[in-house]
Structure 1
Amino acid sequence: MTTLAPRSSHGLFTSGEPVRSWTVSTAKPVSYEVGFTPDVLDPRNPALAGAGAPADGPAPPRRLLVVETTVDELYGDRVRAYGVARGLEYKVHVLTAHERLKTMDAVFSVVEAMDRFGIARRSEPVVAVGGGVLLDVVGLACSLYRRSTPFVRVPTTLIGLVDAGVGAKTGVNFGPHKNRLGTYHPATQTLLDPRFLATLDRRHLSNGMAEILKMALIKDRELFGLLERHGGRLVGERFQGGRGLAPVVREVLGRAVHGMLEELQGNLWESELERVVDYGHSFSPTLEMRALPELLHGEAVCLDMALTTAIAERRGLVRPVERRRILDVMRGLGLPVWHRLCEPGVLGEALADTVRHRDGSQRLPLPAGIGDAVFVDDVTPGELAHAARRLRAYHAETGEAGHA
């Protein structure tokens, strides 16, 4: 609905003069679908062929599929066989996508592929098949191409499944800054298929576990308990549900996705800057970019969560036994709790950049026990230095195999 009002309470004329200024107010409803879709590449499954497209779209359906290089090596034959079996007119654009290549050059590569294929503006959604970096790149390209082109996400990594694949944001890095350029452009539909996790290596599964742990720590104590009891097996068995683990897989992934969407739904455009899902994302952007390619995104997020857990303990928000449980779960998931970049100078710069990003205030989420969070605006350099020292001591004590 759109309303148009002259900047005057007197109608179209003020003191006999025509109005020269108007206020335009409009609201656009936003709706998108996220759902688990097992065996999404099975030719008998129509979900991928019809995802995100109007019922009266062109026949045969036309699809540009942007597929990450490693995914193409593992699943490319199945992607192409699916296209043939479902009668699609399709083209596969293979794109190498990782944090160091998360730039506008990657976006332009996707735009060029869209141009060559001749994408229709509304009825031929681009299909992105890959991890979080690829999903962000394709999303940004689609938000810019003809000012808005629909796309479908098929995340193939755990971090894509529970985090990058379910929100509205797109983005690429600029200079030393993570996701400095971006838009809000949710995919029309996201198809979640845990079968892709079967070919993911252990480190990348641990990487995604950090985002699940984030949701557990700030809003879902029961999810934390599941990770505490079953996290090692989930990583070891790649979320494939063998030996009675299937119900745990469904509950862990379902809780993580539901919790994330519950937090995002009312604030997709981030008009409210106090967001509990920013937990783990105050210091991690700087740590991740400084350490490239040494740290993965989830590893940097875990370092951030470990730091803020230590700060919360010192403030009496987290009991010592809870702090120990949290760090032990991180260690059990194969995640680092300390890194050589966790030193006062770097952490101070990271906090300063976060304050700029959050419009002049820290708005720093800290855990309150396990399963809740509070916001603070007064974290000091001394607290950061103390937290880093505590984590370094824990790291030395446990022999934790993180990235030193």
Structure 2
Amino acid sequence: MTAVMPPETYFTQSGNGLFTKGAPARSWTVSTAKPVTYEVRFESGILDPAHPALAEAGTPPGSTGTRRLLVVEEQVQRLYGDRIAAYFDARGIETVTRVLPAHEQLKTMESAFQVVESMDAFGIARRHEPVIAIGGGVLMDIVGLAASLYRRSTPYVRVPTTLIGLVDAGVGAKTGVNFGRHKNRLGTYHPSSVALLDPEFLATLDQRHISNGLAEILKIALVKDRALFELLAAHSKTLLNGRLQLTEDPDGRHLVAEEVLCRAVHGMLEELQPNLWEHQLQRLVDYGHSFSPVIEMEALPELLHGEAVCIDMAFTTVVARRRGLVSDEDTRRVLAVMEDLGLPVMHPACTPEVWEHALADTVRHRDGQQRLPLPVGIGQACFVNDLSPQELRSAFAELQEHDRALRSAL
């Protein structure tokens, strides 16, 4: 390292560590590393006043913080607001609650600024008063972005209340909001201190939102966990109708929902952990996310995130079949499980032109290459960079024909 001494006399550090007279240093390279540690854990019944997890989440041992700023999604507040308030009252913690409507059309910097305003008015003590975000993936992304910006990094806690939040948005490092017609175009890497995953929140979700989250679970199954796929195939209706509550399956052998949830979260974290900042652009967890960001924004507000992801996966499964990577039988099984999980494989907003635009946008996002994940059988994947416009259109036509046949059979 070269050091500059007082301006009247310049010295340069020599190889033996001594300083000698010389010209002032004119360039420096600064290198450092910041260790990142955060916790993801399942905790059932976190709104039970006897359960300390939520009160203690994100605080150092022996913390004396007795205040919390809560950012709660609007629908969650209607369903659980009284229980949330009663929990913190019972724990002797004073709260201020910011209720935020949160969906893709409101996933904007304006919403993030609303959270910042609340943080500023509250007067966050960053070391022992983490912000607590309670809601779905959209809300957690907004709060996470606001927390990353406020005083350049403020701790927060994620409490996902949707299935997609539980297995996807709640467990990674990314935050973000939409910009214009672009999904998550503005964002940061700022993981929560703790993510508390409580499947009991899923009991009040409608079935469509359960399907929406199951799409992200299916993603992990298709590219890295065949056993998870078999669980989805065998228990799709039970998982849907039971809203993944931790009850025994009919033969009483094990908790199907628990295994599905744990395998999905484990598979996601296994992929995220070694590449948390996405320096490596070839990512298995991008499966289902090559075309879906554009499709989802084109179809707003009709398509949910997981539904767009499923359409993407259905398309790439067909591409893989046409390349001989997936057998006809496995293709049939994959598309049938998508149907059983209540997920779409096509939408009127999807056209070959939109598909080509989506691929071009992905290439820009992935540093000039497609890096397109394709399934290999069920439970494995490879990456390709040579999907042509003609191949894209042929696969699209095949998937469209499958969707027409499916609809005519209903």
TM-score scaled to structure 1, two decimals? 0.95
Among 366, 369, 380, the residue aligned to 2:374: 366
C-alpha separation in 1, matches of 2:185 and 2:24: 43
Q: CA deviation at 1:276?
A: 0.4
Q: Deviations over 1:238-286 (max 9, x none)?
A: 1124453661011000000000000000000000000000000000000
Q: CA deviation at 1:339?
A: 1.5
Larger radius of gyration: 2
Which residue number in structure 2 is paired with residue 97 of structure 1? 102
C-alpha separation in 2, matches of 1:191 and 1:161: 9
Which residue number in structure 1 is paired with residue 353 of structure 2? 345
Q: CA deviation at 1:5?
A: 5.8
Among 163, 170, 176, the residue aligned to 1:171: 176
SS of residue paired to 1:196: helix
| Contact 1:6 1:23 (8 Å CA) reproduced | no
Q: CA RMSD in A?
A: 1.9
Among 192, 196, 202, the residue aligned to 1:191: 196
Q: Deviations over 1:193-212 (max 9, x none)?
A: 00000000000000000000
Closer, same or farther: CA 64–15 of 1 in aligned 2, 3 Å: same
C-alpha separation in 2, matches of 1:172 and 1:401: 39
Letter in 2 for 1:206: S
Structure 2 unmatched runs, 5+: 5-11
SS of residue paired to 1:255: helix
SS of residue paired to 1:183: coil
Q: CA deviation at 1:326?
A: 0.4
| Contact 1:57 1:124 (8 Å CA) reproduced | no
C-alpha separation in 2, matches of 1:147 and 1:274: 29
Q: Deviations over 1:199-232 (max 9, x none)?
A: 0000000000000000000000000000000022
Q: CA deviation at 1:10?
A: 5.0
Closer, same or farther: CA 365–6 of 1 in aligned 2, 3 Å: farther
| 2:276 equivalent to 1:279 | no
| Contact 1:35 1:190 (8 Å CA) reproduced | yes
| 2:266 equivalent to 1:261 | no
| 2:162 equivalent to 1:154 | no
| 2:257 equivalent to 1:252 | no
Aligned identity (percent) is 65
SS of residue paired to 1:266: helix
| Contact 2:2 2:25 (8 Å CA) reproduced | no
Which residue number in structure 2 is paired with residue 182 of structure 1? 187
C-alpha separation in 1, matches of 2:23 and 2:217: 61
Counting only pairs closer than 5 Å after superposition, residues 232-243 of structure 1 correspond to structure 2 as 232-242=237-247
Counting only pairs closer than 5 Å after superposition, residues 7-156 of structure 1 correspond to structure 2 as 16-59=22-65, 61-156=66-161
Among 346, 358, 363, the residue aligned to 1:355: 363
| Contact 1:307 1:388 (8 Å CA) reproduced | yes
C-alpha separation in 2, matches of 1:192 and 1:401: 39
| Contact 1:54 1:123 (8 Å CA) reproduced | yes
C-alpha separation in 2, matches of 1:400 and 1:322: 22
| 2:296 equivalent to 1:304 | no
Closer, same or farther: CA 203–400 of 1 in aligned 2, 3 Å: farther
C-alpha separation in 2, matches of 1:67 and 1:131: 9
Moved more, 388-397 or 359-368: 388-397
C-alpha separation in 2, matches of 1:35 and 1:400: 44
| Contact 1:125 1:151 (8 Å CA) reproduced | yes
Q: How many residues align?
A: 398
Letter in 2 for 1:117: F
| Contact 1:135 1:153 (8 Å CA) reproduced | yes
